[in-house]
Amino acid sequence: MFMFRKIKNIPRKISNSFFGNLSKDIGIDLGTANTLVYVKDKGIVINEPSVVAINKKTKQVLAIGKEAKKMVGKTPGHIVATRPLVDGVVSDFEITQQMLKYFIEKIHKDSFSVLPRPRVLIGIPSGVTEVEKRAVIDATVSAGAREAYLIDEPMAAAIGARLPVIEAAGNMVVDIGGGTSEIAVISLGGVVASRSLRVAGDEMNEDIIRYCRDEFNLLIGEKTAEDVKIIIGSAYAQKEASEMTVRGRDLLKGLPRKVIVNDEQIREALSHSIRIIVNNIKTIIEETPPELLSDIMQEGIILAGGGSLVKGLDKLIANQTGIPVRMMEDPLTAVVRGAGIVLNDLEKLKDVLVENQYEEPLR
């Protein structure tokens, strides 16, 4: 176990000034599906899948990010393309550490820094345990960070949406990512009420896979299911009907087969996961103090994250809750943009961070 403390004999200000001149502060949205990296004064510089390809025989990392995702479902037995995060938390420490190290080094490859030691701010689901927080911190510091900070994803998303999170006003954010859906009411720099659900974009993909298996005896892959969700998936009836051809393996004959599915069928497939998300939004509204609820009624519910892009989801939530709903600008990058804003004014916004701050370990 690492011990986190200040490095002996090196004053904090001198250490920060020295490494700060050689390194670039980094904000990371460490997502189940994608990892986005923000560099201070540069903006978002990396947006890649959270996938790592490994040779099981040699334990060698073969590819990370986009190159690794191309290998998913297409590798021989001794090569595995895996996601080191499940439901927004670290499931494989070593692979997560290697992925983070890869991104840190990629950012600094054009600089003169031989040993980059950046400050790193990472967005995490609001419902993670202390052990899961520690796993993220350990992986980040092991990957080369001199200081690591954590911020709840709904808080980061709210800041990314430029909501007045520090003021005494109610702000409601629903951030639907790949592994988790974060629902939170924020006021005075803190979370008043929240839910972190392990139901999000990945679970919607599973809904589509399950529907095709049960209704058509057709086995399809995760990538195909995601394409279906993006192209014709919807949460609310659309003005124009749509359909697409889906290819997979016939479970009875074992041979390739294709079927045509329409938006109504996929809406039925997605209804289970979407119902869970909407019901939890209602629950949070019921738990919100009346004064804050008045603010939310006026400003509306803010949607963020890739899962919120399902057609008609905003309209469904508005109809179910009676509260206006609006999609924030560029919802896919909400969390990492919020992390970037905090990085640019860390001293002023330090109160929005998760309580503890960790520094480079002594080994």
Phi-psi region of 305 (alpha: psi -120 to 50; beta: other; left: phi over 0): left
Cβ neighbours of residue 208 closer than 8 Å, sequence gap 6 or more: 220, 225, 228, 229, 233, 266, 269, 270
Parse the chain into domains and list their residue ranges.
3-48+90-156+335-362, 163-199+275-329, 201-269
Domain 3-48+90-156+335-362 matches domain 201-269 at the CATH topology level: no
Structure confidence at residue 7 as a pLDDT band (50, 70, 90): very low
What average pLDDT does range 105-115 have in this prediction?
Answer: 68
pLDDT over 60 at 114, yes or no: no
Residue pair 4/359 in contact by the 8 Å Cβ criterion = yes
| pLDDT top residue among 280 and 110 | 280
- DSSP conformation class of 239: S
* Residue position matching structure tokens 């005896």: 217
Structure confidence at residue 304 as a pLDDT band (50, 70, 90): very high
Structure confidence at residue 8 as a pLDDT band (50, 70, 90): very low
Instruction: Assign 3-state DSSP to the chain and report helix, strand, coil percentages, each to 5.
Output: 40, 30, 35
The CATH fold of domain 201-269: Actin; Chain A, domain 4 (3.90.640)
Mean pLDDT of the chain: 86
The CATH fold of domain 163-199+275-329: Nucleotidyltransferase; domain 5 (3.30.420)
Cα–Cα distances (Å) from 109 to 17, 104, 186, in that order, read 20, 9, 38
Looking at residue 12, its pLDDT comes to 44
| pLDDT top residue among 5 and 271 | 271
DSSP 105-116: HHHHTTSS-SS-
| pLDDT top residue among 152 and 110 | 152
Looking at residue 65, its pLDDT comes to 86
Provide the 3-class DSSP secondary structure of residue 128. Answer: coil
The CATH fold of domain 3-48+90-156+335-362: Nucleotidyltransferase; domain 5 (3.30.420)
Q: What is the pLDDT of residues 311-350, one digit of tens each?
A: 999 999 999 999 999 999 889 999 999 999 998 888 888 8
Closest CA relative to residue 282, chosen from 321, 329, 241, 314? 321
| pLDDT top residue among 22 and 118 | 118
